[in-house]
């Protein structure tokens, strides 16, 4: 999809569709007022009929509107003008895009120069529009014999706000498009079935990104190489599977070679049966989404390479399949981690932390500025936050605040839980240095406590995305979170 800034009054824009905003109870934006004037009060008549009231997210298409060059006039409900914050503006833009994409319009112009979004800039509006356009256009077709129809729209333009620099708006459109594409990449990987999206498939996806960008170097470590590194904890998860585990290393260079990188670590369990601690059958198909942390890392790395961020970033993915078999790790087995700590595996369904702890230890070699791991780790996170917020735990207060702020700006929110010393004894083991579960209470916190034992040498945050990474039910599918959050965070960093 192509994006551009287009100057001109609403009645002079030649497009398949032009979109204007109507506020709650029929208040007209500046652009809607002009369209109403040249159309012989056409919008006012629709409002008086109460077919359209301007409720937030409401849409109405007028075909062959009088006085306009565009073939369609799209009215988008903006709700109460005083309540137009980033969240409501995003809902409004998304509703408009979905209405256009449901039509056969090949081009659409958003006449929204007069929009004043609380605490946001005109560039934010452009970025958000492009991001939402990319994500709203996503269709999953890979394993369908009857393909969903692609959206007709391939050109989206937007009016520049008064005083805004055209170049900054164009850059915002590019940024939003790249973020949206990264989100869609993560969604697509998550939506693929486990018999296609294996550890090897994820490795090939990462390698393809590396081949596309000269700033990206990708290397893939197999089980023999990981065995030599003594990554016994990670390998214990893949022990029961015929699929070989992979450690995916993506090194992006956007700054000088001696500039220490920020590191992202993704949990990539491409299918999680629970192993010998077998999960119940209900909903087990959704365990293909247990690699959404890995998918988000791959999506972010593709985005930062496209945006050419001026920092160094490393993406690490521990990709495994967790299966029961005669060679699978058993409850009560003790494994040796790369850090030299022994782990009593009391539950093989608490496997994500066994993968992540070795990858966190591997991250030490980069002497990172910060490390963020992303994982669909605990059902307790779902019980605590539902699908709206990702759980955040960290050993650094400043990093915690940065991620909370970035979550607000990106509308991909996180919220902290305590990582207090009082929880650590729950992981005590009579037979090893640490147990891999901490009992029935505070599951999200004890999981992070486990990981914190392997993140003592750097500034670290853990994002538990078990509730936010995918939707269940009729809208089942991966969300691509927290790609937007992570790109926002990395965009704020300096070399």
Question: 295-326 pLDDT, tens per residue?
Answer: 999 999 999 999 999 999 999 999 999 999 99
Q: Encode pLDDT of 342-352 as tens digits.
A: 999 999 999 99
pTM value > 0.75: yes
Report whether pLDDT(421) > 90.
Answer: yes
Given 91, 98, 174, 279, the catalytic residue: 279
Instruction: Spot the catalytic one: 353, 413, 453, 481.
Output: 353
Please name which of 143, 245, 120 lies closest in space to residue 192, comparing C-alpha atoms.
143
Asked if residue 370 lies in contact with residue 462, where contact means CB atoms within 8 angstroms, the answer is: no
Please state, in angstroms and rounded to a whole number, the distance separating the CA atoms of residues 38 and 244.
66
Give CA–CA dist 351/428, Å, rounded: 17
Q: Rounded to a whole number, what is the largest CA-CA distance in the chain?
A: 82
Specify the 3-state DSSP secondary structure of 333. strand
- What pLDDT score was predicted for residue 425? 97
DSSP assignment of 207-242: HHHHHH-TTEEEEEE-HHHHHHTT-HHHHHHHTT-S
Q: Do 182-491 and 2-137 fall under one CATH topology?
A: no
Active site includes 353?
yes
Question: Quick one: pLDDT at residue 372?
Answer: 98
Query: In whole angstroms, what separates CA 170 from the centre of its chain?
Result: 23
Compute the mean pLDDT over every residue in the chain, rounded to the nearest whole number. 97
Ranges of each domain in the chain: 2-137, 182-491
What architecture is the 182-491 domain classified under in CATH?
3-Layer(aba) Sandwich (3.40)
6-30: average pLDDT: 94
CATH number of the 2-137 domain: 3.40.220.10
Dihedral, CA of residue 268, residue 273, residue 278 and residue 283, to nearest 10: 110
Active site residue 118: no
């Amino acid at each position: 999809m192509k994006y551009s800034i287009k100057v001109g009054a609403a009645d002079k824009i030649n497009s398949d569709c032009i979109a204007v905003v109507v506020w709650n109870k029929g208040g007209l934006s500046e652009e809607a007022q002009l369209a109403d004037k040249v159309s012989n009060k056409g919008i006012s008549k629709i409002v008086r009929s109460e077919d359209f009231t301007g409720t937030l997210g409401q849409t109405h298409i007028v075909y062959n509107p009088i006085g306009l060059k565009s073939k369609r006039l799209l009215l988008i409900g903006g709700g109460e003008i005083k309540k137009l914050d980033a969240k409501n503006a995003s809902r409004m833009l998304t509703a408009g895009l979905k209405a256009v994409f449901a039509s056969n319009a090949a081009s659409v112009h958003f006449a929204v120069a007069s929009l004043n979004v609380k605490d946001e800039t005109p560039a934010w509006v452009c970025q958000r529009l492009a991001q939402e356009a990319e994500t709203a256009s996503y269709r999953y077709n890979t394993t369908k014999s009857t393909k969903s129809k692609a959206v007709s729209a391939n050109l989206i333009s937007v009016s520049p706000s008064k005083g805004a620099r055209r170049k900054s708006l164009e850059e915002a459109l590019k940024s939003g498009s790249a973020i949206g594409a990264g989100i869609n990449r993560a969604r697509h990987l998550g939506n693929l079935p486990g018999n296609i999206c294996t550890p090897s498939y994820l490795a090939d996806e990462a390698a393809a990104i590396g081949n596309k960008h000269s700033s990206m170097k990708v290397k893939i470590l197999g089980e023999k190489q990981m065995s030599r590194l003594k990554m016994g904890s990670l390998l214990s998860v893949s022990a029961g599977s015929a699929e070989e585990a992979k450690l995916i290393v993506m090194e992006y260079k956007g700054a000088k070679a001696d500039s220490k990188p920020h590191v992202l670590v993704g949990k990539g369990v491409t299918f999680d049966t629970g192993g010998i601690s077998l999960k119940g059958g209900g909903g087990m198909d959704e365990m293909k989404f247990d690699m959404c942390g890995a998918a988000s890392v791959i999506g972010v790395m593709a985005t930062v390479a496209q945006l050419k961020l001026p920092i160094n970033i490393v993406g690490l993915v521990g990709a495994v399949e967790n299966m029961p078999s005669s060679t699978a790790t058993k409850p009560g087995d003790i494994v040796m981690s790369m850090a030299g700590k022994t782990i009593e595996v009391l539950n093989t369904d608490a496997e994500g932390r066994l993968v992540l702890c070795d990858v966190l230890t591997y991250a030490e070699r980069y002497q990172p500025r910060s490390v963020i791991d992303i994982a669909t780790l605990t059902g307790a996170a779902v019980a605590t936050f539902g699908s709206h917020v990702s759980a955040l735990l960290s050993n650094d207060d400043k990093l915690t605040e940065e991620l909370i702020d970035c979550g607000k700006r990106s509308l991909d929110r996180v919220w902290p839980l305590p990582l207090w010393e009082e929880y650590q004894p729950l992981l005590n083991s009579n037979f090893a240095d640490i147990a891999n579960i901490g009992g029935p209470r505070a599951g999200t916190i004890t999981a992070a406590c486990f990981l914190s034992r392997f993140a003592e040498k750097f500034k670290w945050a853990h994002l538990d995305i078990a509730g936010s990474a995918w939707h269940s039910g009729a809208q089942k599918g991966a969300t691509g979170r927290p790609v937007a959050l992570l790109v926002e965070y990395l965009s704020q960093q300096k070399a």
